[in-house]
Amino acid sequence: MDKRYKVNEIFYSIQGEGYHTGQAAIFIRLSGCNLNCSFCDTTHQDGTMYTAEEICREIKDFPAHLVVITGGEPSLQIDDELIERLHDTGHTVAVETNGTRPLPHTVDWITLSPKDMFCKNAEPVLDHVEELKVVYDGMQFRTYDTIHAKHRYIQPCDTGDMKKNCIINEKTVEFVKNNPQWKISLQTQKILKVR
């Protein structure tokens, strides 16, 4: 019997954050997460069960080659079978993860967004990733020097409070000016008002 994955939604948009900002991408949002971050901006608990083949059928008409598997936390479900099926259909597979669990080695691009500054028992176990994207609340920041990342991003936390967000944005700019090995990642999907 084929494995089934609980999928919250599949949609086509642009990548709004990090290295691939502005690139057309197919998003596969898997259901569930092992953390409970206060600033989480996605509802991801509900879902429909799909096989890897059914997921590939759902995305076949989208013209982009980049597939972003997100959540929730994709490492709770993702496996080699799903990655291989997506590769077989000509897709590059990126995964956005909190890094608390290992991922299949067949993933093409790992975006690690650690949450251990905000949640208990959230220490990342991944130490080699393509992209490290750290959410910054304007107060605490950890540089994760032991994690090897090709690209390092600091992303201002969207608190929902415009006044607080302005302060966080100012502190983020100052941080990057003082630490030029980091770049700012903005949530451009919110600025452009797209999914």
Report angle CA 134, 92, 89 to the nearest 5 degrees.
Answer: 150
Paired residues of 5 in beta bridges: 50
Q: How far apart are CA 184 and CA 38, in angstroms?
A: 22
Per-residue pLDDT at 40: 61
Q: What pLDDT digit, counting tens, does each position of 137-177 carry?
A: 888 788 899 999 999 999 999 988 999 999 999 999 999 99
CB 110 within 8 A of CB 134: no
Give the per-residue pLDDT at 119.
83
**Mind listing the domains of the chain with CATH numbers?**
4-191 (3.20.20.70)
3-56 pLDDT, tens per residue? 999 999 999 999 999 999 999 999 999 999 877 766 665 666 789 999 999 999
58 pLDDT higher than 90:
yes
pLDDT for 62-120, tens place per residue?
A: 999 999 999 989 999 999 999 999 999 999 999 999 999 999 999 999 999 998 887 88
Tell me if 109 sits within 8 A of 130, measured CB to CB.
Answer: yes
Say how many C-beta atoms besides its own lie within 10 A of residue 30's C-beta: 26
